[in-house]
Structure 1
Amino acid sequence: MTHAIDTITLPHGRPGTSRTVRIHRFGQPGARPKAYIQAGLHAGELPGMLVAQQLVRHLAALDAAGAVTGEIVLVPMANPIGLDQMLLGTHLGRFDLAAGVNFNRSFADLWEPVAQALRNGRAGPLGPDADANRRLIQQALADAALALTPRTEADALRRLLLLNAVDADLMLDLHCDSEAAMHLYTTPACWPDFADLATRLGCLAALLAESSGGEPFDEACSTPWDRLRALFDTPETPIPVGCHATTVELRGESDVDEGLAAQDAAAIIGHLAWRGVLALPAPTIEVDLTLATPLAAVDRVRTPVGGVALYHVALGDQVTAGQHVATVMDPATGERHLCHAGTDGPVWSRRQCRYAGPGDILLSIAGRKVLVTSGNLLTA
């Protein structure tokens, strides 16, 4: 049995306070493949933390049975700072109240120090063995994360999470949306191998972008590989997709349910087995590659004015461009303003709060035709 638990105190807290992160480790340190899973980076998103506790129980049993062939690092509650943020009885776990920054943004982009270490030979020479190159770069990424010098508690948290994840072969960041169907985000390079996970989870869509903007955690783990391949990948020095990373959106904020969590945990266990991290037979499935769609093709239907939001379509509904999908009513005058879809596709998320301000996003549609050609692709 190798299950170990680390409790790490975050530095740079205010005097008289301290916050800790609890990290579960399964399998032999250094064994491959390595999987890293975390939940609650947006601390108000509870479904992932429930799934993570289901995973702790399953993985502890599998570890005791000797079925963890790789290494698994699991952080069931990744953001004690956000979990502690209450204002007038409301939990605010998405943004750091001290700095106003989204907790899932502004992660360090480590590709430049790694590229420099490869150029000057400090990281070691690349060679003809793709797997050896993967290990060399993973170590260089871990070294670059270790060299970060945080000045705030939130930055110390970002560094700690990167230190544990950036050298993984597989990274799952568990989130949820406001009201949503199951979906995930990843990069085009990572997508084909995540079709297995998306299908097992029952995703409505897989939203792909090489860079979504804002430096979210999943891309801090995966996109350095894209940039390093562009610089160093040759027939003599092949560089693989070294870290398959995804943000998994476990439906909506209110989908906090033991039955759903057990179902989702079982899907993740099946994917870990399929990846070879667990010595289990992975249930055979027929993957659905058609789930993939460009994140830049998402239609964000916004309110023309502030008011009460009335929806005319449900999650999962297929809509067509021009369709009347929502109405915003001015509660003072009763005046109604119509909102229309800008593309064809399924509705995958809706705003949970039925009062919206001018320009707020009401719902999102997974289209196929690119609508956004510049700027960030993620919401705040």
Structure 2
Amino acid sequence: MTTKRVQEHLLPISAVGTERKIISVHFGANKSGVKAYIQAGLHADEAPGYLVAGRLLELLDQADAAGRISGEIIVVPVANPIGLSQWGTDIIQGRFDATNNINFNRRYYDLTDEIAKKIDGLLGGDEKKNIELIRKCTGEILAAKQPVTEAEALKLLLLTLSHDADIVLDLHCDHQAVLHVYMGTSLWPAGADLSAQLGAGVTLLADNSGDTPFDEANSKQWWELAEKFAGFPIPPACLSATVELRGVADTEPKMTEMDAQNLYLFLQRRGLIDGDRVPVPALCAEATPLQGVDYITATSAGILSFLKKPGDVVVKGEVVAEVRNPMKNEGRGETLPIASKTSGVLFARCADRFSRPGKIVAKVAGAEPLEGKGTNLLTS
């Protein structure tokens, strides 16, 4: 007997004659007491995650038919139908809400203070009971929310599905990139098996990256509550991570298969799927602080030529790209270098080859925090 069930969730009508929905695919009766939540396409124009989630669902169907699902697994294969509807100049513009230009992966509910008020005086010395209490109160807080816009309702729905999970994986991609992972500093090194299994070339750590992305809306309250209630055992009970599945054009079947298989093996090792647990692969690279990322920006307009590709190691001051202005010097052009401010792995670069002053053209993961980063550590 299979445990699979599919639920439809309607979003509020935002325009006359339209109605959107998401589906969530549920597996397992949670015999192991472990829950995982995985979603794809929150940034709706990032293609690889849809394919990986779809292939993972096929693998989970097979496991379910064989009675091997021991935990609870929820997969949302299309997390943002709003963004998928936003076509412009024949491409999907799925990163920002067209009605207000807010990033679909920013400004989720930051619930720490609300949870703290509800649990004050109710915590005890039993870690497991404290986890159950916090999750129960979080669910009650979310149930009382009254979103106004369609995007707000979508964000609330996704958090409602994920808030009580032990594992939350948000599948994204960059422009041109190696596979990389974002997670809380407090989740490392306990979460290192995720990066190792996926073969992540870079793992970026921050307990608070600013502006509350989806992954941190599920995780950072745990260490913030532990700090507020230092006398009680409150662990980082949710391994929540953003998984960047290389670049937007990396949709080859062999990559999709490899990533889906690796997610399956990770879930199996974490006790959600019965079967032999293969050894954890070696880490490709140690984690580095998100504060150490150099978002390399162009200082002039022109045509980009990259000298370094994703995965290359660079040293501080090394030129990674050049910008050529073809109107300088009576049409002969002028070429200006763009250099890294840190030593580390160039893990992502832009997909197009035009620059303007201030445009981020590449990202380098350095081992040491950079000065002047501020509190918002993510790109817009």
For Structure 1 versus Structure 2, the TM-score category normalised by the shorter chain is over 0.9
1:138-184: CA deviation from partner (whole Å, max 9, x where unpaired):
11112112111100000000000000001111100000001000100
Instruction: Judge conservation of contact 2:304–2:321 (CA < 8 Å) in 1.
Output: yes
Query: Structure 1 residue 12: deviation in Å?
Result: 4.0
Q: In structure 1, how many angstroms separate the alpha carbons of the residues matched to 2:366 and 2:298? A: 19
TM-score (norm 1): 0.96
Q: Matches of residues 229-268 of structure 1 in structure 2 within 5 Å?
A: 229-234=226-231, 237-268=232-263
1:232-264: CA deviation from partner (whole Å, max 9, x where unpaired):
232xx3111111100000000000111101100
Q: In structure 1, how many angstroms separate the alpha carbons of the residues matched to 2:147 and 2:75? A: 23
Instruction: Judge conservation of contact 2:13–2:20 (CA < 8 Å) in 1.
Output: no
Q: Which segment is superposed worse, 7-16 or 79-88?
A: 7-16
User: Which segments of 5 or more consecutive residues in structure 1 lack a partner in the other structure?
Assistant: none
1:11-30: CA deviation from partner (whole Å, max 9, x where unpaired):
14222110010100000168
Instruction: Judge conservation of contact 1:201–1:267 (CA < 8 Å) in 2.
Output: yes
- Residue 153 of structure 2 corresponds to which residue in structure 1? 156
SS at match of 2:257: helix
Query: Structure 1 residue 288: deviation in Å?
Result: 2.6
Q: Say how many residue pairs are matched.
A: 374
Q: In structure 1, how many angstroms separate the alpha carbons of the residues matched to 2:161 and 2:91? A: 31
SS at match of 2:186: coil
Q: Which segment is superposed worse, 239-248 or 142-151?
A: 142-151
Q: In structure 2, how many angstroms separate the alpha carbons of the residues matched to 1:113 and 1:309? A: 48
- Residue 366 of structure 2 corresponds to which residue in structure 1? 367
Judged with a 3 Å threshold, the aligned counterparts in structure 2 of structure 1 residues 271 and 354 are, in CA distance, closer, same or farther, namely same
- Residue 97 of structure 1 corresponds to which residue in structure 2? 98
User: Which segments of 5 or more consecutive residues in structure 2 lack a partner in the other structure?
Assistant: none
Does residue 352 (structure 1) correspond to residue 347 (structure 2)? The answer is no
Q: In structure 1, how many angstroms separate the alpha carbons of the residues matched to 2:196 and 2:203? A: 10
Query: Structure 1 residue 65: deviation in Å?
Result: 1.4
Q: In structure 1, how many angstroms separate the alpha carbons of the residues matched to 2:113 and 2:351? A: 40
Tell me which of 301, 306, 311 is aligned to 1:306: 301
- Residue 377 of structure 1 corresponds to which residue in structure 2? 377
SS at match of 1:288: coil
Tell me which of 185, 188, 200 is aligned to 1:188: 185
Does residue 48 (structure 1) correspond to residue 49 (structure 2)? The answer is yes
Tell me which of 323, 326, 329 is aligned to 1:331: 326
**AA of the residue aligned to 2:61:** A
**AA of the residue aligned to 1:72:** I
- Residue 69 of structure 1 corresponds to which residue in structure 2? 70
1:178-223: CA deviation from partner (whole Å, max 9, x where unpaired):
1000100001111222211111111111000111111100000000
SS at match of 1:192: coil
Query: Structure 1 residue 127: deviation in Å?
Result: 1.9
Tell me which of 158, 171, 174 is aligned to 1:174: 171
- Residue 310 of structure 2 corresponds to which residue in structure 1? 315
- Residue 27 of structure 1 corresponds to which residue in structure 2? 28
Q: In structure 2, how many angstroms separate the alpha carbons of the residues matched to 1:22 and 1:262? A: 22
1:104-156: CA deviation from partner (whole Å, max 9, x where unpaired):
0010111111111112x5xxx22222112111111111211211110000000
Q: In structure 2, how many angstroms separate the alpha carbons of the residues matched to 1:4 and 1:40? A: 21
Q: Percent identity?
A: 40
**AA of the residue aligned to 1:226:** W
Instruction: Judge conservation of contact 2:344–2:367 (CA < 8 Å) in 1.
Output: yes
Tell me which of 110, 122, 126 is aligned to 2:123: 126
Judged with a 3 Å threshold, the aligned counterparts in structure 2 of structure 1 residues 205 and 72 are, in CA distance, closer, same or farther, namely same
Query: Structure 1 residue 378: deviation in Å?
Result: 0.5
